[in-house]
Each structure stands twice: as C-alpha cells, then as structure tokens.
Amino acid sequence: MILQSRAIWAGKGNLIADGAVRIRGKRIAEVGGRREMAPEAGEPVVDLGDSIIFPAFVNAHCHLDYSGLAGKLYRGTSFADWLAQIVLIKQSLTHDDHEAAWLSGADMLLSTGCGTVANIESVPGMYARMAPQTPLQVCPFIELIAYHSEDETAAVDLAQSELMANESLALKVGVSPHAPYTMTPEGLNALALFADEHLLPMSIHLAESNDEWDMFVHGAGPLYDTMSSLGRVMDDCGKGTPVQYLAKTAGFAKKSLVVHANRLSDADVEMLQRVGACVVHCPRSHAWFRHANFDYDRLAKAELNICIGTDSLASTNSETPVTGLNMFAEMQEFSQNHPQLSCEDMLQMATANGATALGLGGEIGVLKEGFIANMAVIPYRDSMSSVPEVIVQHSCAVAMLVIEGKRVFSGIDSIVD
C-alpha cells in the first residue's frame, strides 16, 4: 500500500513535500516523493491530501495503570508527601481498577499519535493479560522495590519471571528498580547485572526531587524521614548526590534510562555521560511538581540522549485544557520553558531518541525503509507554518494512526484496510 500526503516529516532533517510511504506487511518498504513512487500492479494508493505523515511517538516513560488518578492527588508540601499519598491510594485500588486505567491510558496515547511506550508495570502479571487488548506497542518495565535486604532476592526473581512471561509478547522488555531510595545498594547492583546479562534496558527515577537530594547529600529531609520510618537502613545517606550513589552501588546498567534528572551537579552530568545513560524528561509532571529547572542545555552539551515521557496522570494538573496522556502536550509544555529549542529537536526527542533509549533505534522512531511502519497523520492546512511547528503545536487527536503497518483508527473516510 502507498500512502501519499502533502508533507512527510520522516525524521530530523528529512522533510518531504508531496511525499509517499510504501508499506509492505509490518514494515516500511520505501519513503520518498509521490511522483517517484509508481504503484505496482494492484497496489492500493491512498491520497491523504492536506496532511502530514510523521513517525508515531515513542513515549519513554509512563505509568499506564495510574491513568485513573488524574486530579486525585494534591501536590502537598514535599515530594515525600506525594509519595505517601500514592502509596495509600494504590492500596485502595483493585486489579480491575488497575486494568481499566491501564487500557484507558493506552487509548489516550493511541489517539494522540503514540505508537510505543516504555511503561512501568507496578502489578506483576498484568502486562501479559493486557498486551493482547491493545495495538499500542507497550514495552513493559517491571517495577521493583526492595529497601530491606531480605527482599532483594525476590526482586531479582520477579524480574526473571516477568521477563519470561513478557518476552514473546513485547517489542522490548525492561526492568525498573523504582528509585535509589526504594532499593538497597546490593539490590540496585543485582538488577543492573540482571539487565546487562539479559541485554535489557533499565529505567530508574533518579535525581527527581529536592527531597531525594537532601536524603542522599545531607542525610536529612522529609524523604529521609519517611524511608527511615519504613525501616530502610539509612547509613548510606549523607554521602553524595543520587547519581553518585547509584554509581557507587554499580547500579547503572549498560542501557540505563534515567528518568527526571532534575537536580544534577556537573560531576553528575559527567557520570551520566560516562555510563552512557539516556535522560527522560517528563515536562508536565515536572511543571506540576515545580521541580528545579530541567537543565536541557547542559545535558545536550554533554551529548546525552534526551527523550520525552508523559509520566503518569497522578502528577499532572487535571484542570488544564489537555488532561490525558498526550505527547503533543508534553512537547508544548517543554517548548514554553525552552523557547530556544527547535521544533525538529523536540520531535526528535519524542520519536527517534526514545527509540534509541529503548534499544529500538533501528526499528522505530523514523520513517525509513526497513523500519516498522508506525506513523501518525494530522491535517496540514496552514501554509504559513513549517511542518515541524505544525506537528508540535497540534492539539487533540491525530487523524490516523498506523502501527506495524495496520491502521489502528482513522477519521479519514477514504482509507480502507
């Protein structure tokens, strides 16, 4: 099948006017100008008219099963306060609540042009039940928490059993020690080793809040008090930054997605560079928490791979015009705080950079021959604006979404499967 449109943004630096994409099975067979792409005998051709085709988004960090929590938590006086709220709310949620939220989150992402998501799975066994129910390419990262030494073995065992259950269902499986403060040093080390042994990406919330900083740097503060009251051994605190702490435990995997990275010293940035970590920024969650400024320039200068994630709806403002999981809204929030950043760079972070972070750089995130055919379509009526700008500023649902060569939905009548 050939899809034709007025413009194709195939990836950074590759804008095609009057373009066409040829799809064969699950993959892209060709991308180019529509005049150069003659249909083969019997090949369907669909002209999408005044539209832009671009790679479906790769959301580098999400918690789909918290999608029912929009507006349910208040910001509180500290990050530790918010954590306490979510722990309490989670105890009141049933399996059905988690599953319904997971699916509704997946629908939100699909309708707004996302094809692939790195999702933190907090309920063991749930991914295998949910994956067949959505066309979204969900890459499950099992969330692991063990701040008592007797729980370390169970965490590694859980990582192992989830890997075996999910490997055949997912494009990519990962592990996620939740954060340095919710794992023992030995647990962090064991999970990094596990990830490397199985060639898996590892995702960890790191250097997110001032509370986390105070716990590791000063051995004090609300998070220190909370974790201490839960019985975590705190003698590893007061000795360095969160990044230094993770490095000391040898807790970085060869492929680490560092989520948030809001508060970093210069030495931390060098460390992230040295271990080849990717950084995931979640702009709306960041704004809601009023975290310290995300230092994009410093990280970009260090040539770190920076990606965009939505995080969860438990940490977004439910009173803004866009309330759901939505990569367009994330880019728009990001661009408000970083007006110097080009729309192409922003799009790159929301597509190819996320793919690279997941170890899927040769498969998704770009429209290119041989890649999986994941693409979104939006209208392009404004002749004055540039194509990347129109994509970044798009609001609401996309007109069409294709995942693995199949139309997930389409508001365009002329399309038939």
Contact between 146 and 187 (Cβ < 8 Å): yes
Task: Using the minimum distance from each CB to Zn ion, give the nearer residue, 179 or 367.
Answer: 179
Token pair 């129109």 is found at 390
Task: Using the minimum distance from each CB to Zn ion, give the nearer residue, 311 or 345.
Answer: 311
The string of DSSP letters for 64-111 reads: GGGGGGTTTS---SSHHHHHHHHHHHHHH--HHHHHHHHHHHHHHHHH
The beta strand positions in 354-399, using DSSP E, are 375-379
Q: Give the shortest CB-66-to-Zn ion separation in angstroms.
A: 9
Q: Give the shortest CB-281-to-Zn ion separation in angstroms.
A: 12
Task: Using the minimum distance from each CB to Zn ion, give the nearer residue, 326 or 374.
Answer: 326
Most distant CA atoms of the chain, gap in Å: 72
Task: Using the minimum distance from each CB to Zn ion, give the nearer residue, 317 or 385.
Answer: 317
Is 315 in a helix, a strand, or coil? helix
Q: Give the shortest CB-280-to-Zn ion separation in angstroms.
A: 9
Task: Using the minimum distance from each CB to Zn ion, give the nearer residue, 144 or 392.
Answer: 144
- 148/189 Cα distance (integer angstroms): 14
The DSSP element (H or E) to which 258 belongs, if any, is strand 256-260
Name residues whose C-beta falls within 8 Å of residue 38's C-beta, 6 or more positions apart in sequence.
none
Contact between 285 and 312 (Cβ < 8 Å): yes
Q: Give the shortest CB-291-to-Zn ion separation in angstroms.
A: 13
- Other CB atoms within a 10 A radius of the CB of residue 14 amount to 14
Q: Which residue number has the CB closest to Zn ion?
A: 311
Q: Give the shortest CB-408-to-Zn ion separation in angstroms.
A: 25
Task: Using the minimum distance from each CB to Zn ion, give the nearer residue, 66 or 252.
Answer: 66
Q: Give the shortest CB-52-to-Zn ion separation in angstroms.
A: 30
- Torsion sign over Cα 30, 34, 36, 41: positive
Q: Give the shortest CB-288-to-Zn ion separation in angstroms.
A: 12
Where along the sequence are the contacts to Zn ion (CB under 5 A)? 311
- 206/244 Cα distance (integer angstroms): 11
- 365/31 Cα distance (integer angstroms): 14
Token pair 């995080």 is found at 311
Q: Directed axis angle between helix 152-166 and helix 185-197, to 10°?
A: 30
Q: Give the shortest CB-285-to-Zn ion separation in angstroms.
A: 7
Task: Using the minimum distance from each CB to Zn ion, give the nearer residue, 19 or 105.
Answer: 105
Contact between 301 and 311 (Cβ < 8 Å): no
Q: Give the shortest CB-389-to-Zn ion separation in angstroms.
A: 29
- Other CB atoms within a 10 A radius of the CB of residue 288 amount to 20
Task: Using the minimum distance from each CB to Zn ion, give the nearer residue, 311 or 330.
Answer: 311
Name the DSSP letter for residue 338: -
Q: Give the shortest CB-262-to-Zn ion separation in angstroms.
A: 12
For the record, the structure tokens of 283 come out as 């702009």
Task: Using the minimum distance from each CB to Zn ion, give the nearer residue, 282 or 343.
Answer: 282
Q: Give the shortest CB-207-to-Zn ion separation in angstroms.
A: 13
Task: Using the minimum distance from each CB to Zn ion, give the nearer residue, 65 or 311.
Answer: 311
- 177/158 Cα distance (integer angstroms): 11
Task: Using the minimum distance from each CB to Zn ion, give the nearer residue, 211 or 311.
Answer: 311
Name residues whose C-beta falls within 8 Å of residue 298's C-beta, 6 or more positions apart in sequence.
264, 266, 269
